[in-house]
Amino acid sequence: MRSSTVTEAAVWTALGEVIDPELGCNIVDLGLVYSVNVDGGKVSIVMTLTTFGCPMHESIRWGVQNALLALDGVMEADVQVVWDPPWHPSMMTDRGRASVGISVPPQP
Amino acid sequence: MSDTSKRASQGGAGVPALGATSSVMLPLSFILVGLVAFLTGIGWLLLQPSLLATYHYNQTIIAVTHLFVLGWICSVIMGAMYQLVPVALETSLYSLRLARWHLILHVIGFSGMVWMFQEWNLKQVGHFGSVLAVGVGLFVYNLARTLWRVPRWTLPATAITTVLAWLSFTVVVGLTVAAGKCTYDATPTATWTGGLLAGLRTATGLVSRFDPVSAMHAHAHLGGIGCFTVLIVGVSYKLVPMFTLSEVQSLKRAGFSVLLLNFGLAGAFATILLRSPWKFFFALMLLAALVLYGVEMRAILRARKRRTLDWGLRYFLTAIALLGPTGLMAAVLSWPDLPLTEWTGQLETAYAFTALLGVVTFAIMGMLYKIIPFLVWYRRYSKQIGRTQVPSLSQLYSARLQSVGYWCFLAGLILVSLGIIAGHASCIRLGCIGMAISATTLVCNVGLMLSHFLRPTVPERVVPRLTVSASI
């Protein structure tokens, strides 16, 4: 039995390990994670993907769940994939833009 | 509490996983069959370059054309469609079992057809063609039932539907042409086989009304434009925006391009078959469709958020660019009352070669660099993502080999095309060497990708951990 308490910082760090295999960049740098909510042992994530109908949809969602459930103290992981607001490169970090090949931060 | 008691829940808009739609091994099997046919075809031309230096209406060139069209192009496209159609249209494949039967019938059918074309035994071509046709029937039925489940009807769905219709028509016309070249001495009886015999005699009577070369050209255009060009155009409206992080800029323009392609093909088929001067008009209609398509692709690319184009996309975009010279050759060849001289005969061969080994093959090679890594990654790493470091798709193969393959193929294509027009066998052989090197790089890269099934790798570059302050 685990008794440790999960922190939001630990959740963001774990999410930073999950990559979009097509773009080769982690989902946090891509700006795909919209919100993180930690409620005791339950973690809820609201996220999006770069393209509707992305073939990697299920894999990335599995990846997020795997990463969350591997954290000490996480008993339940709820991953919501939403399309509103739609993803835009302006949501990416500078490092993400550099990694994917977007040099100038575009305006939404 | 143990780890197994942990719970995962999902919500939001859903797209089915590949595991629910198709098998990884099924599209890979089609693709591997295609690669074997591709290597065989290139090797054949390398050994007999004179085939392309003379007029194309002979048994060997028809055999090698069917090896490329059915063995290479159709195998890869059909395998890719079993994987891509459910994914792109957000649905699931109707039947994996039917698809497996299709693979068996397809391999028997096209191998036998190529062999019998080479022997110029058209009755046996018809028999093997019938086996192939049964497989195509299963394919069309399977994908039609899959399309029936599509939750949102889109332009790619429309294009794929028309591709299935043109594919069916191409096979029927091909079998009719083959049947028309045979003689049937037996007396029809009131049995099932008697009915078949009567049908074949009717086909013979029908085909004999048309010039055999025109019938062959009409059949070739049905396949080349109806199946391959419409498919490339249709799916690129989904795939190019997806891979470049862009969007279709004008749905109306995109829709018109698909519509014009289909109308243009219907007219081109009839006018080629009848040797009508109106074929020039329909060639212009097809060119207009391709111009609209090119304008829309340019707009999509200009609006892309991902500035860097990987080699897979460069292959695909080269295919699109090659539609230009191919279309121009089509316009010249469709000119009313163009005399059939040695030069125009060679231009016809160059046109077909550029279309099949240029446009379609470049598009296929580009998409293979998207499809195969995805299939391998999905099978090997999708369960590990989030648990351990996994490679990205581009880390499964060598980009250097990819670029060498690109330049060798482009150089080879130009040399072979010029060699065909000039009727110069040595130039054709030199170009085939470039193509053979390119095909080898593709096979090496496929081998690198498939090796992940046996030896999974962890990427050397560690995905950087984020600091919380930088991420929110």
Q: What is the DSSP string of B398-454?
A: -HHHHHHHHHHHHHHHHHHHHHHHHT-HHHHHHHHHHHHHHHHHHHHHHHHHHHHHH
Asked whether the beta carbons of residue B466 and residue A26 sit closer than 8 angstroms, the reply is yes
Asked whether the beta carbons of residue B5 and residue A93 sit closer than 8 angstroms, the reply is no
Instruction: Enumerate residues 6+ apart whose C-beta is below 8 A from B286.
Output: B225, B260, B261, B264, B265, B268, B327, B330
B347-360: average pLDDT:
95
- Give the pLDDT score at B3: 43
Does any CB of chain A come closer than 8 Å to the CB of residue B376?
no
Instruction: Enumerate residues 6+ apart whose C-beta is below 8 A from B454.
Output: none
C-alpha B334 chain-centroid distance? 24
Indicate if the pLDDT at residue B335 is higher than 80: yes
Q: Quote the crossing angle between the two packed helices B399-422 and B361-381, to the nearest 10°.
A: 160
- Give the pLDDT score at B22: 56
pLDDT band at B389 (very low <50, low <70, confident <90, very high): confident
Instruction: Enumerate residues 6+ apart whose C-beta is below 8 A from A80.
Output: A44, A45, A46, A47, B10, B11, B12
Q: Which residue has the higher pLDDT, A4 or A80?
A: A80
> For the segment B248-286, what is each residue's pLDDT rounded down to a tens digit?
999 999 999 999 999 999 999 999 999 899 999 999 999
Provide the chain B residues 75-114 that lie in CB contact (below 8 A) with chain A. Answer: 87-90
Distance CA A47, CA A33 (A): 4
Q: Which residues of chain A are within 8 Å of residue B243 when distances are taken between CB atoms?
A: 22
Of the partner residues B9, B15, B395, the one whose CB lies closest to the CB of residue A53: B15
- Give the pLDDT score at A103: 60
Indicate if the pLDDT at residue B463 is higher than 80: no
Q: Which residue has the higher pLDDT, B179 or B287?
A: B287
- Give the pLDDT score at B97: 94
Three-state DSSP class for B274? coil
Amino acid type, B328: L
Distance CA B32, CA B446 (A): 9
- Give the pLDDT score at B232: 94
Asked whether the beta carbons of residue A75 and residue B7 sit closer than 8 angstroms, the reply is yes
CA distances from A34 to A30, A47, A48, B4, B241 (A): 11, 5, 7, 28, 23
Task: Provide the 8-state DSSP code for A29.
Answer: T
Count how many residues are written for chain B: 472
Does any CB of chain B come closer than 8 Å to the CB of residue A91?
no
Q: Which residues of chain B are within 8 Å of residue A69 when distances are taken between CB atoms?
A: 3, 6, 8
Provide the chain B residues 394-453 that lie in CB contact (below 8 A) with chain A. Answer: 394-395
Q: Of B48, B185, B67, nearest to B117 (Cα)? A: B67
Q: Of B18-32, B173-187, B230-244, give the range with the top mean pLDDT.
A: B230-244
Q: Token digits for B133? A: 């046709």
Does any CB of chain B come closer than 8 Å to the CB of residue A96?
no
Q: Quote the minimal CA–CA distance from A60 to chain B in Å.
A: 7
Asked whether the beta carbons of residue B392 and residue A103 sit closer than 8 angstroms, the reply is no
Residue B232 φ then ψ, to 5°: -60, -45
A75-104: average pLDDT:
86
Amino acid type, B35: L
A76-81: average pLDDT:
92
Of the partner residues A17, A80, A106, the one whose CB lies closest to the CB of residue B386: A17
- Give the pLDDT score at B115: 96
Provide the chain A residues 3-62 that lie in CB contact (below 8 A) with chain B. Answer: 8-9, 12-14, 16-19, 21-24, 26, 28-29, 50-62
pLDDT band at B306 (very low <50, low <70, confident <90, very high): confident
Does any CB of chain A come closer than 8 Å to the CB of residue B461?
no
B56-60: average pLDDT:
81
Indicate if the pLDDT at residue B49 is higher than 90: yes
- Give the pLDDT score at B17: 47
- Give the pLDDT score at B316: 96
Q: Of B97, B89, B107, B94, nearest to B26 (Cα)? A: B97
- Give the pLDDT score at B7: 66
Q: Which residues of chain A are within 8 Å of residue B88 when distances are taken between CB atoms?
A: 53
Instruction: Enumerate residues 6+ apart whose C-beta is below 8 A from B196.
Output: none
SS (HEC) of B130-185? HHHHHHHHHHHHHHHHHHHCCCCCCHHHHHHHHHHHHHHHHHHHHHHHHHHCCCCC
Q: Let me know how many helices (H) and strands (E) chain B has, helices first.
A: 18, 1
- Give the pLDDT score at B185: 65
Asked whether the beta carbons of residue B13 and residue A52 sit closer than 8 angstroms, the reply is yes
- Give the pLDDT score at A100: 82
Amino acid type, B270: A
Distance CA B166, CA B398 (A): 37
Distance CA A91, CA A25 (A): 14
Q: Which residue has the higher pLDDT, B309 or B202?
A: B309
First to last CA, chain A: 46
Mean of per-residue pLDDT scores for chain A: 86
Distance CA B215, CA B269 (A): 9
Q: Quote the minimal CA–CA distance from B397 to chain A in Å.
A: 13
pTM across the whole model: 0.86
Provide the chain B residues 14-53 that lie in CB contact (below 8 A) with chain A. Answer: 14-19
Asked whether the beta carbons of residue B8 and residue A77 sit closer than 8 angstroms, the reply is yes
The rounded percent of chain B whose pLDDT value lies above 90 is 64
Of the partner residues A24, A59, A80, the one whose CB lies closest to the CB of residue B12: A80
- Give the pLDDT score at B190: 66
User: From the candidates A4, A13, A34, A56, which should be mutated to test the interface with B, based on the most B CB atoms within 10 A?
Assistant: A56
Distance CA B99, CA B75 (A): 12
- Give the pLDDT score at B472: 31
B132-152: average pLDDT:
92
Count how many residues are written for chain A: 108
B454-467: average pLDDT:
59
First to last CA, chain B: 32
Closest-CA residue of chain B to A57: B15
Q: Which residue has the higher pLDDT, B141 or A102?
A: B141
- Give the pLDDT score at B14: 40
Closest-CA residue of chain B to A15: B386
Indicate if the pLDDT at residue B201 is higher than 90: no
Does any CB of chain A come closer than 8 Å to the CB of residue B462?
no
